[in-house]
Structure 1
Amino acid sequence: MISPDYVLTMARYNAWQNRQLRGALERMTDAALRQDRGVFFRSIFETVNHLLWADQIWMARLDGGKAPKGGVPESPRFQPTLAAWSAERFRTDGRILHWAEALKPDDLKGALKWHSGVLKADVSKPKGLCVAHMFNHQTHHRGQVHGMVTAAKETAPVSDLAFMPDSGPWL
């Protein structure tokens, strides 16, 4: 389904997007970040918090490391401030990159098993599908944030994968 090269490209893309996003968010006021904008997680800040929390949940499942506390309902309040979010985002992106750099093709085969707090049930899905979902989930919520940042009349990050620096020979 997917390869270690794909995973590494997407991990690099995730880190690049979050570096740009961090800069955009730092230019905004706290009130603008927390303003209810009518999206599922209400605000820019709550959406990026949920995304950070979700990345840590998926990484705990994939690398066996530490998982964040709480569930989806608590995820919008995962970090209390932009500075705390920024530091944790940087660490998490490093964790994803480190994991992706060490992947072998066999690491993406077989089933990933976990207990879903959302479903309140044990789940088993193909590992490759779960990894693809993690990156898709990131892109989905960053797209929401991009729209909210643009609507707030701020400059949103360049999001095209084809324009990622050092994106490789596939261009």
Structure 2
Amino acid sequence: MSFNYPIVAMAHYNQWQNNNLINAADQVSDEDRQRDLGAFFNSIEKTFNHILWGDKIWLSRFGDFSPPRTTSLEASLSEGGTWEEFKAERRTLDQKMIEWTSQFDINTLPSEIKWFSKAINQEISRPTAILLPHLFNHQTHHRGQIHAMLTRLGQKPGATDLPFMPDVDTYL
């Protein structure tokens, strides 16, 4: 098994789960997707937008990806625009992440990445080997919040466990 296996598998998992939750979110009204349901970023749409924003920030730190349009945590909640614009951008970025991980070479990345965190208002440096899993962990964390909000609205998204991902064995 190569080092790329978990990174490629997680990029595919990311796409699978984004599609899973977007399809469930398409079944609720615009009003319900935008309603404050008590989650950290309030609504389904705002949480989806924050994930998109976070993915874009981290990918731009790792390589040749465009940074997000918005520059603050608060503005991240509208990163994707309208629901239809968000879905198109999310699907495009998911495919780019798969392509990037499929050609991934850890040796082309710096051993550490340094950035200024507005969340804690200071410069930070962390090993790239920690930040790569963080990209996927961050997505999963916030998708769990979306899943809970969708469940509250009576939706039942599909399976979320990695072993149940279609064709999971192809990434070995």
The alignment's TM-score, normalised by the length of structure 1, stands at 0.92
Q: Percent identity?
A: 35
C-alpha distance 170-62 of structure 1, shift in aligned 2 (>3 A): closer
| Equivalent-residue separation in structure 1 for 2:171 and 2:18 (angstroms) | 22
1:47–1:145 Cα contact (<8 Å) kept? yes
- 2:164: which partner in 1? 163
Equivalent runs, 1:3-42 vs 2, <5 Å: 3-42=3-42
Residues 143-152 or 111-120, more deviating: 111-120
Residues 76-85 or 108-117, more deviating: 108-117
Deviation (angstroms), 1:152: 0.5
Cα RMSD of the aligned pairs, angstroms, is 1.9
- 1:116: which partner in 2? 117
- 1:56: which partner in 2? 56
Residues 69-78 or 135-144, more deviating: 69-78
- 2:71: which partner in 1? 70
| Equivalent-residue separation in structure 2 for 1:87 and 1:29 (angstroms) | 18
Residues 64-73 or 144-153, more deviating: 64-73
- Mind listing any 5+ residue stretches in structure 2 that lack a counterpart? none
| Equivalent-residue separation in structure 1 for 2:27 and 2:5 (angstroms) | 34
What count of residue pairs does the alignment treat as equivalent?
170
- 1:98: which partner in 2? 99
Deviation (angstroms), 1:105: 4.1
Q: Give 1:64's aligned amino acid.
A: D
Deviation (angstroms), 1:156: 1.6
The alignment's TM-score, normalised by the length of structure 2, stands at 0.91
| Equivalent-residue separation in structure 2 for 1:169 and 1:99 (angstroms) | 17
- 1:133: which partner in 2? 134
Tell me the SS of whatever aligns to 2:126. Answer: strand
- Mind listing any 5+ residue stretches in structure 1 that lack a counterpart? none
Deviation (angstroms), 1:87: 0.4
Q: Deviations over 1:73-113 (max 9, x none)?
A: 11112123210110010111012111101112424661112
| Equivalent-residue separation in structure 2 for 1:78 and 1:66 (angstroms) | 13
Tell me the SS of whatever aligns to 1:138. Answer: helix
| Equivalent-residue separation in structure 2 for 1:118 and 1:100 (angstroms) | 27
Residues 98-107 or 150-159, more deviating: 98-107
